Structure 1
Amino acid sequence: MDRRRFLQSGTLAGGALFLSRPPAGTARAEPAAGPPTGLPPVDDPQYLSPVGDPAAVPRFVNPLPRPSRLDLRRGGRHALRLAPAVRDLLGGGLGLRTPVWGFGPPGGAVAFPGPTLIARSGRPTTVNWLNHLPRHHLLPVDPTLHQAFSHSTHTIARDGVPAVVHLHGGHTDADSDGHPDAWYTARGVTGPRFSGSRYSYANSQEAATLWYHDHTLGLTRLNVYAGLAGFYLLRDRRERELITCHRLPDPRYERELVIQDRMFHPDGRLAYPDAPAASPAWPGGPSIRPEFFGQVLLVNGRAWPCAAVEPRQYRLRLLNGSNSRFYRLSLDGGRPVPVTLIGTDDGFLHRPLPLTEPLVLAPGERADLVADFRGCAGATFDLGNDAPTPFPDGTPVLPPADKVLRFQVTRPYDARVPEPRLPAALRPGPFRVPRPVTRTRRLLLFEGQDAYGRPKPLLGTVERGTSAWDAPVTETPRPHTAEIWEFFNTTSDTHPIHLHLVSFQVLGRAAFTADQDPAGGALSNIRTEPPEPPDGTETGPKDTVQAPPGRVTRVKAFFDRCGTYVWHCHMLEHEDHEMMRNFQVR
């Protein structure tokens, strides 16, 4: 269904992050019925060609893959190529191989997801991102969007697939940030902001779970879906001391976990909705959808894997790498497992936070957790998901997308490795942006329609209304100043808002009502209820924040590097369809 709900007064769903431990239950392996090879097709009107039945993909029979790692801690120069590969994503004895895109060193294997890059704070490094992508896309391209080759004679068939890599959460100079207009192709065609493929990362921030992914204008949803994403783990002295003093799990018991949703054709190829829009003005061909929600859940590039663990504490670094799907995660099966949140997107919390409610992760968000499997030898725990699509008031999640990953506490305990004892404090004090505020900006989240009658999510200002991607810049922070940005969400969905360059402090939210111009979205007569502070899980440094419907979400950021950056919704279908704006620090 392409039509989306418009703003309904009184919709004030919350946006807090939690983790839960539901009542115990009996857990068993669940190999789904299906032929030994191939997936039986199902009739899905979203697709022009058949898609495979997600229920025919076995769950919890594939071992959890561990991403390969590339050590950048000495700094220096490195190179990674963006290139095609073929991988078994579904496993389970189906015998299917899936063409994907990924990252790998020159002359080396291409990894899907990309290799985890390990960097050290204070040790600058340079990565040459080499575009070796082919002259055809794995997925249907909508030519009606404002995208890399718009208003030009360039084509993918002649010039290759455009790409550009953004270090999400990185404190990065503008010319190495991966601006959507800095794309380039294997045949040397470049975007208007291209300044080279060698990106310099100062690594001038604290330890954090960052990630890198494609950010090409109008093609991000497709390039990331094809596989262009990976972890970037930044280490620092404080984190090393916590590990050395056995206050955090040993790195041998650290697992990065990227959750992504996908669909597949019966022969194993990636499938993505490509039906044309229903409009008399539609020229024909593939059309963007408001969101994409796949029913096959991948963790580290494998469908519904099973992780064998020791009865000890593990550090789990979770990333929601999906296009549009939110996850509301909980552990079930067996007896409860204590889980503690120790960090958010860009660094540690002040104090470890035991979690008792579901953990909601929006696209682009990360969570740094410690899960305690001690005393659970032989037990099995399923990581479940019950987030509606779209979030928070959409369709309830149905099997098989109601489960993500299985933990089996079956590995023998290695007593030679000391158990950590989490510290009382992970950082000297609560995360704050200490600079005085020089300006407060009131920003707008709005949903309109494009020329073909499709929902078109947009950003803008409360006073002026919405602005398209290429409209003049309206957000111009001065260098070395702090600002408060207020996001007034007049849509019916929660949007994950991401700011490049900065790690911001979440200040809180408040319900509001207002009169709204139905055409441009500008607000007047705004009435705001008493503010609510952020949940304890949002008190660490963040770069992506959930902006719930009917609320104003407030963050504070310090802008210290000059240049042009972007802020946008991190639902990739939204940012590709104009829910993205430039800002300039000048």
Structure 2
Amino acid sequence: MLQQVAGSLQMYVDPLPQMPKIRGYDFQDGRVVPVNLTIGMFQKKWKFHRDLPDTPVFVYGQCVDSATFPGPTIVARHDVPLAVTWENHLPDHHILPWDPTVPTAIPGSDVGVPTVVHLHGSAHPPQSDGSAFAWFTAGFRDTRPSWTQATYTYPNVQPPGNLWYHDHALGLTRANLHAGLLGAYVIEKPEVDVPMDLPCGDDDDLHLVIADRSFNADGSLYMNSTGAAPSVHPQWQPEYFGEAVTVNGKAWPFLAVRRRRYRLCILNASNARYFNVSLSNSVPFHIIGSDSSYLAAPVTVPSLLIAPAEIFDVVVDFSAMSSSSPATTTEVEMLNSAPYPFPTGTAPGPLNDKVMKFVVAPNGPHDTPDNSTVPEREVPYANVASPGTPAPETTRCIAMYEYVTAWGQSTHLYINGLRLEDPVTETPRSGTTEAVKMQQLVGLQAFTDCMTRVNDAVKCGVDQHAVGPVVAVPEHEKTWKNVVKVPPGFVTTVVVAFKLVDTNQPYPFDATAEPGYVYHCHILDHEDNAMIRPLKLLP
């Protein structure tokens, strides 16, 4: 039925919308000054496709009428703090199924939809991090002991780049994001951004928020109501994959462009699906940034693998495409070739192997000339091995593993065999640099078979797995990232700086305060059950 509904929708009939922008600063007497914003969470109807009935969603906005799927793009200014009061106006009950048997935010009397907002990729005080335990319901009627404050403060002291905000409530992250609680966030720094002469302006600098979704015949969002191991978890499944691909809240939209350069900020906001995107006419992507940082220098690639929660900042030059005549209109598809689950799953089919279409029109006589560039160099601090970057003081090791029933049904996923609520074991000192070796054991059949028998990672020879030759890090991922791909059967080593990476200075706030931070798998279904652990910085 889900394939039938998605397959009935004609592709490329809805124009790609751009989300409304909210400026997170103001001007006073020629100076940039801070502002306070109030952004709410609302239930409303959203039109995902011309031929699909209106869909109930949860969305962010300054009022219900202006709320969108995804939410408004917040544009902040470097070193200008932004205060946001996040208000929950959601109904008493969720619009999607959820599972109370995984560690979950459950309000008193089961009334209300718990939410809490996390600004993904931001350097901010723990009280404004959006702890999974700091959730609240409508009107702050129900809050938890870890709830800290109604207004969050974002210092915006980190380098310029692309972030996103989304819900982070315990056990409900996958359902709340699926319903629509997500949006883009940009930190601008004119003295860094402007000299690069990148494409700019509302027409040439665009966000593409990609998310797979399935729809019921009545237009409502589909989320499974039966779990992978229903005797253990009635509803939870280890990965959600949708039949339709939405971009900025439209299923397979199109975008009219000219023969010029465009800057595209591509965010994969899917629960579990990877996207390996390419353009059907082989025009390459010039990658200028990854997650919330520029690169040291642009990298040109024919295709781009984007994990859930990962962001890439790219320039596409439609003037460079081949055509029989520059005076003709050409159609270019954005395609997807990533198997699901990635990397060894099913190849995408005729629905989810397409993302959107660009309709490339010839330049008109009144079009402004394209003076944008792809710069040869960007920012020196993006080079993790650059002079002045301290060597890691400590190396930590973490292992990610999936527990299954005797019949191979997934039941839960832990990091180092521990739950979120278990005592904190990662306690780096604020201001230091560490190395972290992440061992991905999910999906390794030999290890799984042994764990099923003895449930002891040491006896199962955990140190004998994920061995082999070193694989080079892709050039376009060599920067300070907040999402790292960790393939099954690999040990991925990352350098983590618990300070400002562009200046090597400590955070200008108390990063050691309660309730601390977390690190986790960003496959949302894994995160909710319960591949997430606390991170507590020490003085």
Query: TM-score, with normalisation over the residues of structure 2?
Result: 0.88
CA distance in 2, matches of 1:95, 1:394: 29
- 2:55 match: 98
How do 1:190-205 residues align onto structure 2 when only pairs under 5 Å count?
A: 190-205=143-158
CA distance in 1, matches of 2:462, 2:229: 34
1:347 aligns with 2:304: no
CA distance in 1, matches of 2:185, 2:512: 24
1:238: Cα distance to partner?
3.6
Equivalent residues of 2:256, 2:358 under 8 A apart: yes
CA distance in 2, matches of 1:89, 1:307: 15
1:219: Cα distance to partner?
0.3
Q: Sort the Cα spacing of 1:155 and 1:572 in 2 relative to 1 into closer, same or farther, 3 A.
A: farther
1:369 aligns with 2:314: yes
Q: What is the RMSD of the two structures over their aligned residues, measured on CA atoms?
A: 2.5
Q: Sort the Cα spacing of 1:95 and 1:484 in 2 relative to 1 into closer, same or farther, 3 A.
A: closer
Equivalent residues of 1:515, 1:525 under 8 A apart: no
- 2:173 match: 220
1:104: Cα distance to partner?
1.1
1:293 aligns with 2:241: yes
1:275: Cα distance to partner?
1.9
Equivalent residues of 2:90, 2:138 under 8 A apart: yes
1:379: Cα distance to partner?
1.2
* Partner-residue secondary structure (3-state), 2:526: helix
- 1:232 match: 185
- 1:315 match: 263
- 1:416 match: 368
- 2:457 match: 521
CA distance in 1, matches of 2:450, 2:98: 34
* Partner-residue secondary structure (3-state), 1:542: coil
What letter matches 1:341 in structure 2?
I
1:430: Cα distance to partner?
4.3
What letter matches 1:154 in structure 2?
G
How do 1:460-479 residues align onto structure 2 when only pairs under 5 Å count?
A: 460-461=415-416, 466-479=417-430
Q: Sort the Cα spacing of 1:139 and 1:52 in 2 relative to 1 into closer, same or farther, 3 A.
A: farther
* Partner-residue secondary structure (3-state), 1:115: strand
How do 1:91-240 residues align onto structure 2 when only pairs under 5 Å count?
A: 91=50, 94=51, 96-106=53-63, 108-149=65-106, 154-156=108-110, 158=111, 160-187=112-139, 188-240=141-193
CA distance in 1, matches of 2:534, 2:405: 20
What letter matches 1:437 in structure 2?
P
Task: Write the deviation string for residues 7-54 of structure 1: whole angstroms up to 9, x where unpaired.
Answer: xxxxxxxxxxxxxxxxxxxxxxxxxxxxxxxxxxx2x7xxxxxx8521
Query: TM-score, with normalisation over the residues of structure 1?
Result: 0.81
Equivalent residues of 2:42, 2:64 under 8 A apart: no
1:453: Cα distance to partner?
7.5
Between Structure 1 and Structure 2, how many residues are aligned? 501
Larger RCO (CA under 8 A, 6+ residues apart): 1
Equivalent residues of 1:456, 1:578 under 8 A apart: no
1:542 aligns with 2:492: no
1:208: Cα distance to partner?
0.8
CA distance in 2, matches of 1:336, 1:386: 14
1:449 aligns with 2:397: no
Equivalent residues of 2:199, 2:205 under 8 A apart: no
1:78: Cα distance to partner?
0.6
1:450: Cα distance to partner?
7.0
* Partner-residue secondary structure (3-state), 1:163: coil
More helix by share: 2
What letter matches 1:521 in structure 2?
A
Task: Write the deviation string for residues 455-478 of structure 1: whole angstroms up to 9, x where unpaired.
Answer: 1453333xxxx1112111111111
More strand by share: 1
1:278: Cα distance to partner?
5.2
Task: Write the deviation string for residues 306-362 of structure 1: whole angstroms up to 9, x where unpaired.
Answer: 010011000000000000111111111xx4323200000011111111113x21111
Farther off after superposition, 95-104 or 408-417: 408-417
Equivalent residues of 1:72, 1:120 under 8 A apart: yes
CA distance in 1, matches of 2:407, 2:91: 30
Equivalent residues of 2:21, 2:75 under 8 A apart: yes
CA distance in 2, matches of 1:172, 1:135: 31
1:148: Cα distance to partner?
0.7
Task: Write the deviation string for residues 177-234 of structure 1: whole angstroms up to 9, x where unpaired.
Answer: 1111110001521122100121100001111110000000000000000000000011
What letter matches 2:156 in structure 1?
N
Q: Sort the Cα spacing of 1:374 and 1:578 in 2 relative to 1 into closer, same or farther, 3 A.
A: same
1:303 aligns with 2:248: no
1:515: Cα distance to partner?
12
- 1:554 match: 493
Q: Sort the Cα spacing of 1:95 and 1:383 in 2 relative to 1 into closer, same or farther, 3 A.
A: closer
CA distance in 2, matches of 1:178, 1:452: 37
1:488 aligns with 2:439: yes
Q: Could you tell me which of 224, 231, 241 is aligned with 2:194?
A: 241
Q: Could you tell me which of 382, 385, 390 is aligned with 1:435?
A: 390
CA distance in 2, matches of 1:482, 1:278: 41
CA distance in 1, matches of 2:126, 2:95: 30
How do 1:70-85 residues align onto structure 2 when only pairs under 5 Å count?
A: 70-74=22-26, 75-85=34-44
Equivalent residues of 2:339, 2:347 under 8 A apart: yes
- 1:504 match: none
Q: Sort the Cα spacing of 1:360 and 1:242 in 2 relative to 1 into closer, same or farther, 3 A.
A: same
Q: Sort the Cα spacing of 1:120 and 1:109 in 2 relative to 1 into closer, same or farther, 3 A.
A: same
Equivalent residues of 2:9, 2:52 under 8 A apart: no
CA distance in 2, matches of 1:542, 1:290: 25
Task: Write the deviation string for residues 52-102 of structure 1: whole angstroms up to 9, x where unpaired.
Answer: 5210011011111111110113322111000111111121xx251111111
CA distance in 2, matches of 1:297, 1:202: 34
Structure 2: stretches of 5+ with no match in the other structure: 27-33, 500-510
CA distance in 2, matches of 1:134, 1:197: 19
How do 1:387-402 residues align onto structure 2 when only pairs under 5 Å count?
A: 387-402=338-353
CA distance in 2, matches of 1:58, 1:329: 20
- 1:579 match: 531
1:411: Cα distance to partner?
6.2
Equivalent residues of 1:242, 1:248 under 8 A apart: no
CA distance in 1, matches of 2:362, 2:215: 33
1:240: Cα distance to partner?
3.4
What letter matches 1:532 in structure 2?
V
Task: Write the deviation string for residues 90-140 of structure 1: whole angstroms up to 9, x where unpaired.
Answer: 21xx25111111111147522111000000111001000001111010101
What letter matches 1:566 in structure 2?
V
Equivalent residues of 1:308, 1:411 under 8 A apart: no
